C-alpha cells in the first residue's frame, strides 16, 4: 500500500464562491508541479460533490524536509499569495510506520 514516510491531510474551503473554477485551476496547476518535486509521493486534490467550495488535499512526502522544501518553493508561495483558500482543518502530519 503506502511506504513509510510523512503524510498529511488538509481540509480547505474556497473563500469566494464566484472563484471556484479559478481556484480549482490554480490548485490543479500547483498539484501538477508539486508531483514532480523530489520527495513528493502523493499530492491529491478532492472536491466535495455537494459543496463545491469544500476541498480535501492528501499529501505524502519522503520526510519532513521534503515537505518544508515544498512549502517554501516559489510555485507554492505563488499559490498562497493568491489567497483563494483557507485551511479549515489540518489533520497534521504523521510518519507512517
Say if residue 95's pLDDT is above 90: no
> Mind listing the pLDDT tens digit for each residue in 27-74?
999 999 999 999 999 999 999 999 999 999 999 999 989 999 999 999
The answer to whether residue 97 scores a pLDDT higher than 90 is no
Class of domain 5-96 as given by CATH = alpha beta
What 3-state class would DSSP assign to 4?
coil
Would you say residue 91 has pLDDT above 90? no
Is this structure's pTM higher than 0.85? Answer: yes
Q: Phi first, then psi: give them for residue 12, nearest 5 degrees.
A: -120, 155
* Residue % of the chain over a pLDDT of 70: 91
Give the whole-angstrom CA distance, residue 11 versus residue 56: 5
Residue 3: per-residue pLDDT:
74
Q: How many Cβ atoms are within 10 Å of 29's Cβ, its own excluded?
A: 13
Amino acid at each position: 500500500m503506502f511506504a513509510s514516510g510523512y503524510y498529511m491531510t488538509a481540509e480547505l474551503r474556497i473563500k469566494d464562491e464566484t472563484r471556484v473554477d479559478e481556484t480549482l485551476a490554480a490548485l490543479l496547476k500547483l498539484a501538477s508541479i508539486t508531483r514532480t518535486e523530489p520527495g513528493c509521493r502523493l499530492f491529491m486534490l478532492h472536491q466535495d460533490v455537494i459543496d463545491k467550495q469544500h476541498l480535501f488535499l492528501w499529501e505524502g512526502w519522503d520526510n519532513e524536509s521534503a515537505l518544508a522544501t515544498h512549502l517554501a518553493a516559489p510555485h507554492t508561495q505563488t499559490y498562497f499569495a493568491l489567497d483563494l483558500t483557507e485551511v479549515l482543518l489540518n489533520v497534521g502530519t504523521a510518519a507512517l510506520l
